[in-house]
Chain A
Amino acid sequence: MNRPFLIYGLSGLCLGGLILLALSLGVAGFGWGDHHTLLILRAPRVVAALAAGLALGVGGGAQQGLFRNPLADPGLTGVFGGALAGIAVLLTFQSEIAWRQTSVLPLAAFGGALLASVALVILGNNKSPGRLLLTGLGINAFTAAVVIVLATLSPTSRELLTNGAYGDWLGLAAFRFTWLPCTLCVIASLCLFRFGTVWDYLSFGPEVAQTLGINLLRTQRWSILLTALAAAAATCLVGQIAFIGLLAPHLARTLIGPRHRLMLPLAGILGATLLLAADTAGRTLWTSTPLSAAGVMALIGAPLFIWIARQHHV
């Protein structure tokens, strides 16, 4: 049987099963529960986790393709930090608008993520893969400082921002707030799929890619814009969460090979699966003190990150 077909079928089945499980698990015990529990509490959370996971998986794969760096991930390169800092700026200085006009929040996150991405490209994009990650580390630290300072300045949004930094926003998911970021996650991911061949060509070096007909500057601009959009929309749903953007593409590459057109959609499915699994585990295994999806992901992701780094001799 055709191997890609089999892998897509199996991962689709896994995700489907997980969705059913996530919908039927909760504080109230196993079962669909009443109409309210299912549709108001669980469904928005599941949908938000799926959309954010998709954007994280695809966005991570896209960033790795663009920077030709297996360790690139919006969480590690500071793009998520930028998105959260953008949200923090909005909540501190214009909090009334943010609550009245729900579309402003993704916009602020997008602005922050874009700033962080541009800084990353200008300061850290050269031949050494280590430099990109070190620059990302710096940007991450800086944006975290911005969030802390702003959270201290504005007591009203302090709890919300700290929860965001812990990746604990999925619990707040309600369709009124999440429909726009969810849609943006899907749109950004679909647009990013179109760049698959470009990143394949980039794998052979920028010079070969250019002689194969790729406009490098235009590719870089669009990739950065779309990865920033994906990261910003995902941040609006989850808060800051690392490692999904790293692990999902890595798993996809192991399963199906590195060709981006085949690998990126699988990375999206696996990202959605990972995030939903992490969130469901976090809220059901410790019902008295639910653990955030980011917490669960970091517990599993950090050791795997070290393992991948060792594999690639970075």
Chain B
Amino acid sequence: MSNPLVQLTAVSLEIKGRRILDGVSLTAHAGEIVSLLGPNGAGKSTLLKTIAGLLPQATGTLHVHEHDPRTTSPATLAAQRVYAPQNPQSTWDYRLSDLPILLHPRIASIDWFAHFQLAGLMSKKFSELSGGEQKAAHLAFSLSSLGDPYQKIILWDEPTNGLDLSRQHLVRTTLTQLAQAGACVLVATHDLTLAYATTQTAVLEEGRLIAYGRPQATLTPEIIQSTWGIDLSLLASK
């Protein structure tokens, strides 16, 4: 197998005396899609941000594309990975058609926006879009900045959050296509349908990685009972 694109060993992080990540070790290769699951506050978003290089105070060993994201320049990292936050925002009310121009003024392409069913909305302003459309626009923006997905890392925080069923399905198929094209994808999510479409699932609880493996093998009734406190056998009997 090729070298891993993301390799974490015993990564921990404390913010204001609170331990958010506690000795997380995780490896992901090109062609893999890793879903990060866990209750609210388990450290999913923090783990994504740490890999993205946004939290230089994290301890442990981090290798992203053989660089340490804590010390590598933003420009170098930007050529290797994209990151889309959970709740994207914009101070200024851009039109959708502005977004591809911001990334590539001369060769702006709306391909990814069309892919996320936004081609007919390009002349609209952000404030005129629904929450789900805004989220889809930010995903398209993120992929437009990616370029060729081969050997790139995609870090998305709750990508299906707020999307309608059709766009949720689109996110799943898109991530699969990107992984097949040689990208390494990590998504934090609460969406079990998305988790089942990934190749690996990591379950986090209070900053610790408590299960890792294929989603079918990882998301067992026992793990779901112990992590979220939901008894699946009760739900099934109703």
A89 and B73 CA atoms in complex are apart in Å by 41
A259 pairs with B77, CB closer than 8 A: no
Q: Which of A168-224 contact B (CB under 8 A)?
A: 197, 200-205, 207-208, 210-216
Does A31 belong to the interface (CB within 8 Å)?
A: no
A258 pairs with B94, CB closer than 8 A: yes
Question: Which of B85-93, B180-188, B198-206 lies at the binding interface?
Answer: B85-93
Nearest B residue (CB) for A206: B54
C-beta contact mask, A18-57 vs B, less than 8 Å → 1, else 0? 0000000000000000000000000000000000000000
User: How distant is A259 from chain B, measured CB to nearest CB, in Å?
Assistant: 5
A157 and B53 CA atoms in complex are apart in Å by 53
B90 pairs with A207, CB closer than 8 A: no
Q: For the complex, count residues of B whose C-beta is within 8 A of A.
A: 31
A211 pairs with B95, CB closer than 8 A: no
Chain A residue contacts of B105, Cβ below 8 A: 261
Chain A residue contacts of B152, Cβ below 8 A: none
Q: For the complex, count residues of A whose C-beta is within 8 A of B.
A: 24
A213 pairs with B92, CB closer than 8 A: no
Query: Which of the residues A197, A202, A257 comes within 8 Å of B95, measured between beta carbons?
Result: A257
Interface majority SS on A: helix, strand, loop or mixed?
Answer: loop
Q: Which of B171-218 contact A (CB under 8 A)?
A: none
Chain B residue contacts of A212, Cβ below 8 A: 74, 78, 103, 145
A211 pairs with B93, CB closer than 8 A: no
A205 pairs with B92, CB closer than 8 A: no
Nearest A residue (CB) for B141: A204
B74 pairs with A213, CB closer than 8 A: yes
User: How distant is B135 from chain A, measured CB to nearest CB, in Å?
Assistant: 13
Chain B residue contacts of A216, Cβ below 8 A: 74
User: How distant is A261 from chain B, measured CB to nearest CB, in Å?
Assistant: 8
A259 and B52 contact, Cβ closer than 8 Å, known pairs A205-B88, A207-B83, A215-B73? no
A213 pairs with B75, CB closer than 8 A: yes
A200 and B54 contact, Cβ closer than 8 Å, known pairs A210-B74, A211-B78, A257-B94? no
A257 and B141 CA atoms in complex are apart in Å by 18
Chain B residue contacts of A214, Cβ below 8 A: 74
A207 pairs with B91, CB closer than 8 A: no
A257 and B126 CA atoms in complex are apart in Å by 12
Does A70 belong to the interface (CB within 8 Å)?
A: yes
User: How distant is A114 from chain B, measured CB to nearest CB, in Å?
Assistant: 25
B95 pairs with A203, CB closer than 8 A: no
A69 and B92 CA atoms in complex are apart in Å by 9
B73 pairs with A204, CB closer than 8 A: no
Does A68 belong to the interface (CB within 8 Å)?
A: yes
Chain B residue contacts of A259, Cβ below 8 A: 94, 98, 101-102
Number of A-B contacts (CB under 8 A): 69
Query: Which of the residues A197, A215, A258 comes within 8 Å of B92, measured between beta carbons?
Result: A258
A118 and B180 CA atoms in complex are apart in Å by 49
A256 and B96 CA atoms in complex are apart in Å by 14
User: How distant is B54 from chain A, measured CB to nearest CB, in Å?
Assistant: 5
B74 pairs with A203, CB closer than 8 A: no
A258 and B93 contact, Cβ closer than 8 Å, known pairs A205-B88, A207-B83, A215-B75? yes
A211 pairs with B94, CB closer than 8 A: no
User: How distant is A267 from chain B, measured CB to nearest CB, in Å?
Assistant: 13
User: How distant is B148 from chain A, measured CB to nearest CB, in Å?
Assistant: 16
A39 and B213 CA atoms in complex are apart in Å by 80
A200 and B138 CA atoms in complex are apart in Å by 14
Query: Which of the residues B54, B91, B138 comes within 8 Å of A211, measured between beta carbons?
Result: B54
B94 pairs with A205, CB closer than 8 A: no
C-beta contact mask, B134-172 vs A, less than 8 Å → 1, else 0? 000010010001000000000000000000000000000
User: How distant is B15 from chain A, measured CB to nearest CB, in Å?
Assistant: 15
A211 pairs with B77, CB closer than 8 A: yes
Chain B residue contacts of A69, Cβ below 8 A: 91
A211 and B90 contact, Cβ closer than 8 Å, known pairs A201-B102, A257-B98, A259-B101? no
Does B49 belong to the interface (CB within 8 Å)?
A: yes
Chain A residue contacts of B29, Cβ below 8 A: none
A201 and B99 CA atoms in complex are apart in Å by 10
Query: Which of the residues B49, B79, B89 comes within 8 Å of A204, measured between beta carbons?
Result: B89
A10 and B85 CA atoms in complex are apart in Å by 40
A210 and B54 contact, Cβ closer than 8 Å, known pairs A215-B73, A215-B74, A259-B102? yes
By a beta-carbon cutoff of 8 Å, the part of chain A in contact with chain B is: 68-70, 197, 200-205, 207-208, 210-216, 253, 257-259, 261
- Which 5 pairs show the lowest CB-CB distances between chains A and B? A213-B78, A258-B92, A211-B83, A68-B91, A213-B75
